[in-house]
Amino acid sequence: MKKSIVCMYLFVVSLNFSCAQEAENEVSTPENIPFSAELFIDGLQIPWGMAFLPDGSMLITEKAGTLIHFKNGTKTNISNVPAVYSRGQGGLLDVVLHPDFGNNGWIYFTYGSEEGEEKGGHTALMRAKLKDNALYDNELLYKAGPNTTKGQHFGSRITFDNDGYLYFSIGERGARDVNPQDITKDGGKIYRLNDDGSIPEDNPFIGKDGAKTATYSYGHRNPQGLVTHPETGEIWDHEHGPKGGDEINIIEKGANYGWPLITYGINYSGTPITDKTEMEGMEQPIHYWVPSIAPSGMAFVTSNKYNGWKGSLLVGSLVFQYLERLTLDGTKVTSREKLLDDMGRVRDVRQGPDGLIYVSIEGKGIYKLVPRS
């Protein structure tokens, strides 16, 4: 049984989770760090997402709207990037390669876009190809609406599943009582598309009156982590709660994840949002954080480069400025470790094709975690 909100907030000034969750989920700092953190790419401000190209180079999104190609130690700005609505939490966000990139060359990215009749912006998904440090064949695959001048909760992360479907997240854009529980509205959703942007025929809300048929799940707040489990093929997300209640969820077709009708968090003012942490027909998280760590970026460790890390889940913390390693037994979090403590706001984490972990930190750049011999 989950603990009560009253119990959870008895320890808001500490990272002792003994009241909120089981003792084995308390965060610890390892005595002997099994790696050195080496600055791999410097001079970055808010490196939101990163993707590794087959030739060993990298693509990096800067939230302000710049797409960077890093190759042979040199950063080059990519041209023909779409106009980006950079406001609050919005800007140029995630970037991933198509699973068959070697044959088709498609690159996918999410960003804040002003396209539409209303003022402001909303999250969009585009794909394009790259040649001579310029994008071409740009195709807008999805544009959420309506636009708003609010700066909150754009999301957004992208992943492909093992069947080639594309999933991406959009936050509820600061309209918690309007968007996340309404399948006819964008925002607070995980979406699923075919790789060309068309709607899969078996999406859960096909045929529902007025539904956004790209929707795969709903009731989300602001998902800034989205990955495919390397063994089960499940889609995992994490999302920002309000004050407390950040969550890790396993995404099920057509499922409702409850925001804001159920939550383990409270308003930033300290007042309750709801007295409910569970309701019939709504999914429970497999893990939640109180106090909030403000999670961003998410990666499973599949390599053997780091002793004892294989199968772990890595999550960045914006507010506490560290990288968290969660040890898993199936879907149960059995322990938590704090890494890169006080290095800065961790925006993204990826495992590279070399099996090493790369971590983007705001105001610094991208660090490579080099195992100690």
**Amino acid residing at 7:** C
Q: Which helix (H) or strand (E) holds 46?
A: none
**What does the alpha-carbon distance between residue 345 and residue 326 come to, in Å, rounded to a whole number?**
18
State whether residue 348 is helix, strand or coil. strand
Q: At 102, which helix (H) or strand (E)?
A: helix 101-104
Residue 77 is classified by DSSP as E
- Which residue type does 82 have? P
Catalytic position from the list 69, 98, 122, 153: 153
Taking residue 231's Cβ as centre, other Cβ atoms within 10 Å add up to 9
For residue 172, what are the CA distances in angstroms to 20, 23, 146, 178? 26, 32, 12, 8
Is the distance from CB of 16 to CB of 26 less than 8 angstroms? yes
Q: Is 238 a catalytic residue?
A: no
Closest CA to 106 of 133, 134, 135, 129: 129
What tokens does 266 get?
């409270």
* CB-facing half-sphere around the CA of 286: CA atoms within 13 A: 19
Say which DSSP state 243 is in: B
Phi, psi of 165 (to 5 degrees): -75, 145
Distance set, CA 111 to CA 48, 64, 91, 125, 285 (Å): 10, 10, 5, 7, 27
d(C-alpha 107, C-alpha 204), whole Å = 26
Phi/psi of residue 150, nearest 5 degrees: -60, 150
Contact in structure between 120 and 148 (CB atoms under 8 Å) = yes
C-alpha span between 232 and 122 (Å, rounded): 32
Query: Looking at the annotation, which residues are catalytic?
Result: 153
